[in-house]
Amino acid sequence: MLGLMQNMPLTISSLIRHADRNHGDTEIVSRETGGGLHRYTYHDAHRRSRQLARALIALGVRPSDRVASLAWNNHRHFELYYGVSGMGAILNTINPRLFPEQIGYIINHAEDGLVFFDLTFLPLVEGLAAHCKGVRSWVALTDRARMPESKLPLLCYEDLVNAHSDDYEWPLFDENTASSLCYTSGTTGNPKGALYSHRSTVLHAYGSCLPDALNLSARDTVLPVVPLFHVNAWGLPYACALTGARLVMPGPQLDGASLHELFEQEEVTVSAGVPTIWLGLLQYLKEKQLRLSTVKRLVIGGSAAPPALIRAFDEDFGITVLHAWGMTEMSPLGTVNTPKGKHLKLPAAELDRMRLNQGRPIYGVEMKIVDDSGKELPRDGKAFGDLLVRGPWIASGYYKGEGGDILREGGWFATGDVATLDADGYMQITDRSKDVIKSGGEWISSIELENLAVAHPAVAEAAVIGVAHPKWDERPLLIVVKKKDAEVSREQLLDFMRDKVAKWWLPDDVVFVDSLPHTATGKLLKTRLREDFREHQLPG
Ligand code: ADP
C-alpha cells in the first residue's frame, strides 16, 4: 500500500520560489567583477531567474541541454543556478583555475551549447573558442555599457535578461532529472563529471542546514568564499534560499583585506572555504590586529583543517570552526565535526582533541571502512582502511559512463580516502590512499605529520611526501614554507615534532621552499611534489 501524501517533486526552482515568497526582502549582496557592491533581494533574484529562463528558451536551450558558467561568486552566477536548472537544463559550473586544455576538454565533453563568463575570463574564452566548436554563443556576464571589444561575437547577459518579462511558471518534472554538472579536478587523467539531480540537490540542501551540520537559519548572513564553481559552493546557494539566510558573495577578491572588509561591513555570521583561505585571513588579522566582530561559524573543508588553525580561530577570535569533509561526488557534504551532549562534559584537552577529526555523517550519508580484501573493519577509532560511502546525494556513476561501473557491491562508493571510524560515528581521515607513506609495510599518515609541523609558530604551510628508500620502501620528507620573517632550522623543527609522534614516523629530512604547489581547488599538489623531490637524497 502506498502512502497518501502528495508526490511533489523536489525541484531547485521550489527553493527560490520559497525564498521569494517568505524572505522576499532578504538581501543578496555581491562584489562585482569590476569592483563595487551590488545589492538586491530574493524577490529580485527570483524575478530575474525567470527572465533568464525565458531568455534561455529563446536562445534554443531545451530541457537537459548543458549550459556552462565560468564565473566568480556574484548575483548573475546565482541567477544561472536557478534560471538554468529551474527551466530543466543542466548548469555545468567550470573551475576557471583549471588549465585551459582541461576547460576545453570539459566544454566539449559536456557538449555545452552556451558559455556564460565573467569579464575576467575574456582572454581565456577567446583562446578556447577555436577549440570548442559546439558552443553556439559566449555570453558576457555584464551590461551593455561594459561590453568589451572582442574578436568573438559575444552576447550581453543584461540585454538577454532585460529582453524578457518574468511571466514564467517553473516547469514541474521528475525530481531525478539532472540539474547541474561538476567535473572533478582530475589531478590524474581527464576530469570526470558528477551529474547532480534536483532531488539530490534539495536533499543535500536540507541535510546541510541541520544544527549539527552547518546550522543555517533566517538569522544568518552567509558568505561563501568557496567558489560557485567548486561543487556548487558546497550547496550554499541552495541552502541559503531554503532557509532564507542573507547571502553575501565576494566576487573575485579573496585576499585577507577584502574578505575582512566584507565580513565587517555586511555583518557576516557564517562563512565557508578551504584551509588556504583561512590561513591567509588569519595571518592578515594577526598582522593588522583586527577582529571579526560578527562571525560565529567558519566552515573549513576541502582538505584537512590544521589543528593550529582551528584553535587560533576558536581561542583568539571566539569563532566556532566547523571542520567538514566531503567531495565532488558527494555533492559534497559528508561529515561535519560537532560535539554531542555527552562530550561537553569532557576535560578541555580531550574535547579539543575531538574537534580535530572530520566529524560525524549527516543523516543521508552512510559510511564504512574496509581492508584491501573488502572486509569491513571495526569502528574502534584505531583501525584504518578505505572509506566507502552511499546515500541519496552520492554519485552512482560519472557523466557519460566515464570510469565504468564505480560502485562496489551493495552500492558503496570508494572515496579514495583512508580513515578511521569510531563507535560514535566520528571519522578521521588519515590520508588520501595515494598519499599515504608506506614505510616497511606500515602506513604513516602524511596529514598527521603536516598538522604537527604547522603547529610550529614559524611554519606557514607544510607538506609531507614519501621518498624512495632502499630499506624501508618509502620514508617521509617534510617540505616547509616558513612564515614571513620567521626562522626555524631543520633540527629545531624535528625536535619540536619528536615527542609528538611514534619515533619511526619522524620525517627523515626537512626541505625549506618559498611556496608549495596547489591544485585548482586549493589542495596541495602532491603529484608535483613527488616528481620534484623524486631524486631527493635522504641523509644517512
Ligand atoms: P577537488 O577539490 O579536487 O575538486 P574534491 O573537492 O572532490 O575534489 O576533493 C575531495 C577530497 O578532498 C576528499 O576525498 C578528501 O581527500 C579531501 N578532503 C575534503 N575535505 C577534507 C577534510 N576536511 N579533511 C581532509 N581531507 C579532506
pLDDT tens for the chain, residues 1 to 540: 999 999 999 999 999 999 999 999 999 999 999 889 999 999 999 999 999 999 999 999 999 999 999 999 999 999 999 999 999 999 999 999 998 999 999 999 999 999 999 999 999 999 999 999 999 999 999 999 999 999 999 999 999 999 999 999 999 999 999 999 999 976 667 899 999 999 999 999 999 999 999 999 999 999 999 999 999 999 999 999 999 999 999 999 999 999 999 999 999 999 999 998 998 999 999 999 999 999 999 999 998 888 889 999 999 999 999 999 999 999 999 999 999 999 999 998 898 888 889 999 999 999 999 988 899 999 999 998 999 999 999 999 999 999 899 999 999 999 999 999 999 999 999 888 889 898 887 788 899 899 999 999 999 999 999 999 988 889 999 999 999 899 999 999 999 999 998 899 999 999 999 999 998 878 889 989 999 999 999 987
Residue 313, CA distances (Å) to 47, 143, 285, 300, 431 in order: 39, 40, 11, 11, 24
Distance CA 404, CA 399 (A): 10
Residue-by-residue DSSP string for 348-415: HHHHHHHTTS-BEEPTT-EEEEE-TTSPBPP-SSS--EEEEEESTTS-SS-GGGTTS--EETTTEEEE
pLDDT (0 to 100) of residue 433 = 82
Distance CA 446, CA 461 (A): 13
Burial (CB count within 10 angstroms: exposed 0-12, middle 13-18, buried 19+), residue 134: exposed
Closest Cα partner for 330 from 388, 401, 243?
A: 388
Indicate if 526 belongs to the active site.
no
pLDDT (0 to 100) of residue 306 = 87
Residue 525, CA distances (Å) to 32, 283, 386, 522, 533 in order: 30, 22, 21, 9, 13
Q: Which three cell numbers stand for residue 388?
A: 566507502
Distance CA 192, CA 182 (A): 8
Test site for ligand 1: of 214, 231, 303, most ligand atoms within 8 A of the Cβ: 303
pLDDT (0 to 100) of residue 349 = 87
Ligand 1 centroid to residue 100 C-alpha, Å:
23
Q: Cα 13 to chain center, whole Å?
A: 23
pLDDT (0 to 100) of residue 187 = 60
H-helix or E-strand spanning residue 316 = none
Q: Name residues contacting ligand 1 (CB within 6 A).
A: 184-185, 231, 301-305, 323-325, 327-328, 332, 358, 415-417, 429, 432, 519, 521, 523
Backbone angles phi, psi at 324, to 5 degrees: -125, 150
Question: Among the options 294, 443, 474, 527, which is catalytic?
Answer: 443
Q: Is the peptide bond before 332 cis (omega within 30 degrees of 0)?
A: yes
- What does the DSSP 8-state code read for residue 263? H
Q: Which three cell numbers stand for residue 150?
A: 572582442
pLDDT (0 to 100) of residue 234 = 98
Indicate if 483 belongs to the active site.
no
pLDDT (0 to 100) of residue 471 = 87
Tell me the pairing of strands 66-70 and 112-117.
parallel
Residue type, 191: P
Indicate if 329 belongs to the active site.
yes
* CA-derived radius of gyration, the chain: 24
pLDDT (0 to 100) of residue 455 = 92
